[in-house]
Structure 1
Amino acid sequence: MWRYLVVYGLAVLGVLCLTPPAVSQAGAQSSDVEAFLDDAMPAASAPGLAWAIIDAGEVRSGVRGELVAGSGRRVTEDTPFPLGSISKSFTALAIMQQVEAGQVDLDRPISAYLDAFEGQPGAAITIRQLLSHTSGYSTLQGNQSHADQPGHVASLADSVRQLALTPPAGEAGVDWQYSNANYLVLGALIETVSGREFGDYVETRILDPLGMEDSFVGGSDRGIGEAVAIGHTPWFGGRRPVAASDDPMARAMAPAGGIVGSAADVTRYLAMMMNGEDDLITADHKAMMLQPASAASPFYGFGWFLDAGADTAYHTGLVPGIETVAVLSRSEQRGGVGLVNANSGMGFGVTGDILAGLSAYALGNMPATGGGHLGAQSFYLMLVGTPILFLAGIVMVWIRRAGLRAKSGPVGLFSLWFPLVSTLAMAWAFLDLMPRLFGAPLMTLSLYQPDMVILLIASSVIGVSFAVFRLGVAYTGRR
């Protein structure tokens, strides 16, 4: 069961998406992908999807569904989707451009570039460690907001200044832990050494040269608009659209997950990463990005997860209501992208199976047989039933209050107080332990799994209330 909880966490969502394929094939045809989606889309209950596969320069693509469920506005070949953490590979590419310009040294400490880190706990963290998630910053630290002043919208520089004051959770260069904090710092580094705002830099130095006309950095002047896919989150067996807005925080979070792009545009980006040519950066530096960054980071390069057994590089993305994947082969000219405007439900409406299947097709393989989600489904159904059971328990306590008030002796005391201890332990597990396993505060989790968070809170509150009510009935009615 806990494996499913981690899979649906913010930082490690994508690792499941590249489940090793069961059968190899010569090359995926569009009809094969569409036949796969005929089954996968209804099972995931996703409103819309866009995909594209590039193989030896040939691009095949397709779209399905709606920008917003029930709106009648169809997803098109040019529909931009928020890419989520795929954006990290763009940030890493921008850093490599600055390395080639002589502005950045991968093994110099961040304090040599950003004054905010001078004399701070993370001063000695190197650029290489930030790129490879070996800085010591934790997943939880990366998912916590530092702009907590009411009415205050932090810029990227403001967020990083606050982050610089935060001691990393671990020692730099020792362990790997995925953290948005690393790429926020890298974004601030790009702004400092280039003298340009991060979004402007990425749009003019990466997106425009690649002809990514339907892509932009979140919070830019292009805005959200009606053409961008709207995310949908799970809602008690259904889907609920995420309110579209020009999020003022999007610009500050852009280096970690704020780039917006279409499937067709992302294939242009993948083609550049696989062409073996000197263009936006040299071929050697492209290869460096797609290799293990260090002994502490054997499965992550610079902005890319690595699967050494399959010789692939990939990254997934997760924003409220949107899940994405981009994958490429490190030895063959093939790759692909999948964009879905829905977050996975807890065992129900799982969109990860779609992304895993599209990833397999992109690499020239047949998708592996989808794994069962019984563990996650059972946990979700347990959460649904728990508040109901506790409410029923409150009723039964009142009905059987005479027997409850008659309890005495050590056994009686134990039976009276044990429910309070156990429900408090359950509340701790639901409200503190589980967010730590996800690597995100409970409020952040509610952006992606609102129904699950409501059930966790309801189970905790009603459970403890049941135990307290039971004790109150037991002791107040005694003679």
Structure 2
Amino acid sequence: MAYAKITLTLIFCLTMILTSVESVYAQTDFPKDQIDHFIRSKMEENHIPGLAVAITRDDKVIFSRGYGKTADQSPISGDTPFAIASLSKSFTALAVMQLAESGRVDLDKPIAHYIPSFQLNDPRGMTITVRQLLSHTSGLTDTVYPDMTIHPQPDSLEEVVQRLHEVTLHSEPGSEFHYNNTNYQLLARLVEVVSKEKFPDYLQRHIFTPLEMKRTFHVSNTKQLIEKSSTISGGHYFLFGKPIATEEPEWFVEGAAGMVSTINDMAKWLIIQGNSGKYNNVQLLSSEGIRTMHSPTGPKESYGLGWEISKTADGKKQIEHGGILWTYQAQELVIPDQKLGIVILFNSGLNTFVDYYSFVSGLSGILTNSPPENSLFTHTMLESGMCSIILITVLLGIRRLWRLKKWEEQYKKRPSWLTFLSFILMLLPLFLLLFLPKMITFFGGERVLSLEGIFMMMPSIIIGLAIASFQNLVIVIARVIRICQIRIQSRGSQNQTINRTTTEGQFMG
């Protein structure tokens, strides 16, 4: 009897334990179907040809999947390589922090202390510290050294240092935040000088190998992406919403945007961000070092050392970074308190009408019980709108040329200033097209972009402006010619009247 009671008690306890476990599992059940549906819907809305997603929690990868196809029509998997662009900066920052923790680099010493060849055409350059480079507060900007548009592009990190000899700083070091790739090229050169290893070799030995990132490597120039085409498939830009496979324009990217990786490899990188710098019992950086990288530095409260800093909808701290090339895009996000990490790699590049960040923020919302909001405007809607605008512009242009006679009648009744004003307004698309690079620089944080890059970023807008500019210019020229003809005819009539009056006067006399 006693044994029977004990047995019943054990069965009851076991049942309660199993029920509790099932309850906990139900509460923490991972929403794979919801995530899968969200990603597929967003890809369809934005015509994304291919992407890969990884999600980590604690020290585990809880989701890893590829969607769509590469440029050569191969299915994308968790091991498909992508150019990750500026996500590379956080790796460069970690390399510098490793050297700092080993005592070989002082973050608050001038960069010139470590790179003797570093010199600007500005005495303030000698005071730029390592920390200021890491936090983009060095005073260097695209406007003083437009790294994306310089031709020819540098061949090495040391050549970047040499080219800076003619540069004058935009602002006092430490006083202003200006996101700038050259900062991280200088930091990569710092790693080379101090470690006495080539920068890609340092990354391989001290970061990629310990993290078991076996499919990750670093290139110095985007043209090497083409040379490694057997390893990495090409990316895309969008033309009226259709992804077009193309080669990435040439650009020197070492240290700032030169890494190629996979989401399975990048998932391991995210794990150390939420796990105090540790991966599989290997400590790549101390927990204090990770906290320093994730903390605001300098005058901008939303940037640390290689990471952007923001808050979730419910106020939790999150660190993130985007990577942008003309044919590739990448987004990563970590919520340290929840040890949650998300990385998405795209084989399509920067486009005015595609909100890549909405992908990662949407996944974050799903995982933190803050459902993502539907986008008010989709890529399809915006591109369709541009097509409609272009069509209407062409039809209006044809109509204006067709109705030149009617315009002529109205012109004769109008004051001259109103006609002049109408010409200025019609030439506005041409002015916008000509000054677009400067406008992008002014409104885009002083980033200086190449003309090729601007076209790949907004081809439908450029084509629309070009069509409007051409036909409006033709209409203005046609109207100006007609005005000249009218005035010549008018002067001829006046002369005939004067001659007739003179002749009649002489006859009467």
TM-score w.r.t. the length of structure 1 is 0.82
State the partner residue of 2:408: 404
How far 1:390 sits from its partner (Å)?
A: 6.0
CA distance in 2, matches of 1:180, 1:54: 28
State the partner residue of 1:435: 440
What's the RMSD between the two structures over aligned residues?
Answer: 3.1
CA distance in 1, matches of 2:365, 2:228: 31
State the partner residue of 1:236: 240
Residue type matched to 2:363 in 1?
A: L
Mapped contact 2:57–2:271 kept (Cα < 8 A):
no
How far 1:273 sits from its partner (Å)?
A: 2.3
2:279 matched to 1:310? no
Which of the numbers 53, 61, 64 marks the counterpart of 2:55?
A: 53
Deviations 1:142-188 (CA, angstroms, capped at 9, x unpaired): 75436414xx6532322343234222323322222222222122222
Which of the numbers 378, 385, 388 marks the counterpart of 2:389?
A: 385
1:14-93 matches, cutoff 5 A: 26=28, 28-59=30-61, 60-68=63-71, 71-93=72-94
1:4-403 matches, cutoff 5 A: 26=28, 28-59=30-61, 60-68=63-71, 71-118=72-119, 120-121=121-122, 122-138=125-141, 144-145=147-148, 147-149=150-152, 154-219=155-220, 224-243=228-247, 252-277=252-277, 279-294=283-298, 296-308=299-311, 309-343=315-349, 345-347=351-353, 350-361=355-366, 364-373=368-377, 381=385, 385=389, 389=393, 392-393=396-397, 396-397=400-401, 399-401=403-405, 403=407
Helix, strand or coil for the counterpart of 1:331?
A: helix
How far 1:265 sits from its partner (Å)?
A: 0.5
Over 3 Å counting, the alpha-carbon distance change for 1:474 and 1:240 in structure 2 is: same
CA distance in 1, matches of 2:288, 2:199: 24
CA distance in 2, matches of 1:81, 1:210: 18
- Bigger mean CA offset, 466-475 vs 88-97: 466-475
Q: Which has the higher helix share?
A: 2
How far 1:312 sits from its partner (Å)?
A: 0.9
CA distance in 1, matches of 2:361, 2:131: 29
CA distance in 2, matches of 1:259, 1:351: 19
- Bigger mean CA offset, 183-192 vs 378-387: 378-387
CA distance in 2, matches of 1:466, 1:270: 57
How far 1:477 sits from its partner (Å)?
A: 4.7
Over 3 Å counting, the alpha-carbon distance change for 1:239 and 1:98 in structure 2 is: same
Q: With a CA cutoff of 8 Å and minimum separation of 6, indicate the structure with the bigger relative contact order.
A: 1
Over 3 Å counting, the alpha-carbon distance change for 1:103 and 1:144 in structure 2 is: same
Mapped contact 1:274–1:330 kept (Cα < 8 A):
yes
Mapped contact 1:321–1:448 kept (Cα < 8 A):
no
CA distance in 1, matches of 2:376, 2:410: 48
TM-score w.r.t. the length of structure 2 is 0.77
- Bigger mean CA offset, 111-120 vs 298-307: 111-120
How far 1:382 sits from its partner (Å)?
A: 5.2
Deviations 1:391-414 (CA, angstroms, capped at 9, x unpaired): 7436624642475378458x5322
CA distance in 1, matches of 2:392, 2:144: 35
The alignment covers a number of residue pairs equal to 443
How far 1:427 sits from its partner (Å)?
A: 3.2
Name stretches of at least 5 consecutive residues in structure 2 with no aligned partner. Answer: 1-26, 490-509
Mapped contact 2:59–2:275 kept (Cα < 8 A):
no
Mapped contact 2:46–2:378 kept (Cα < 8 A):
no
Q: Provide the identity percentage.
A: 27
Mapped contact 2:211–2:269 kept (Cα < 8 A):
yes
CA distance in 2, matches of 1:473, 1:116: 64
